[in-house]
A and B are shown apart, each in its own frame.
Chain A
Amino acid sequence: MRRKISYLLALAVSITAIGTGSADAATKLNPQMQALVDSYQKEAGVKAFSADEGKKLFMSKRMHSVKKEERSCTTCHTTNPAQTGKTVVGKPIDPISPAVTKDRFTDPKKVEKWFKRNCEWVLERECTPKEKGDYITFMTSL
């Protein structure tokens, strides 16, 4: 019960935090990363990516079919991208927001590797190019 409440509080606080993040703080991708995002866009066949959709992906929860537990990107990255996260083994994760951790979304190989791992862990499948593009767009808009 107590856990549920503090979770809700954390959620509320972080939604506020995300909501007030100003657009002019946006992070510009380096050429290699821009090329990766462009390739996602080509594959997805969309005109533009959506930060709102990316935020939805980040915040959404899903019941794992085998583990029978709710999982989300926020399980490890917390509901506030600017905050330090934690792996399931307990090791701290530097904030996922590129506005806070400067080398986030700078290395296409690293980004692809973690998308693959984390999407499988949460969604039991890889993320689509559309989802990946939306996610990066959300993160770089913070």
Chain B
Amino acid sequence: MVLRKTIIPFLAAGLMLTGLVAGTGFADEDHRERGERHSRYMPKVAENATYKQECSSCHFLYLPGLLPARSWEAVMNNSDKHFGENLGLDENTKKEITSFLKNNSAERTDTEWSNKIMRSVGSATPERITEVPWIKKEHRRIKPEVFQRPSIGSFSNCGACHTQGAQGNFEEDAVSIPKK
């Protein structure tokens, strides 16, 4: 019952959004862009061994280009209260990861999605990629219960659907939503 109550506004909002988008022809434009513009692949994904070691055991190794530098700074400053986890990083490790993330952040990554993220974020400092308005918009058609499927678990688990996400490829033809 409670669930139904919370889903209805979601559905309504979803329908309205879909309507709006279809109405203004955004969807078509998006598809045209896809063919004409240069590849949205990240030519070379920035890598750092310490970042990989410390930040990939619990979740997808988020590409530094998915958030602005100030967001990464905030995430790292709060690493002792990291979404309910105390990461317990020593100062040197923290410094190395912070500078790696800041040096390769969205403002320093020239891909279409990084640029869209920067425009979408405005002056905000989100600590989640899943809170970036453009990212939310791109996933608005995915129902909350889909994210809860056992092999997905959460919206934050990018790699479950974006099979080449780790390589910086979020294109439509590299998306596969697990059925279970």
- Report which residue of A89, A93, A113, A121 has the largest number of chain B beta carbons within 10 angstroms of its beta carbon: A89
Q: How far is the CB of B41 from chain A (nearest CB, A)?
A: 23
* B153 touching A117, Cβ below 8 Å: no
* B88 touching A117, Cβ below 8 Å: yes
**Assembly CA distance A120 to B150 (angstroms):** 25
* Interface residue tally for chain B (C-beta within 8 Å): 18
* A91 touching B157, Cβ below 8 Å: yes
26 CB-based A-B contacts, threshold 8 Å? A86-B150, A86-B153, A87-B58, A87-B153, A88-B153, A88-B154, A89-B58, A89-B59, A89-B60, A89-B153, A89-B154, A90-B59, A90-B151, A90-B152, A90-B153, A90-B156, A90-B157, A90-B160, A91-B57, A91-B58, A91-B59, A91-B159, A113-B88, A117-B87, A117-B88, A121-B84
Does any Cβ of B come within 8 Å of A102's Cβ?
Answer: no
**Assembly CA distance A89 to B150 (angstroms):** 10
| Chain B 31-85 residues near chain A, CB threshold 8 A | 57-60, 84-85
Q: How far is the CB of B125 from chain A (nearest CB, A)?
A: 21
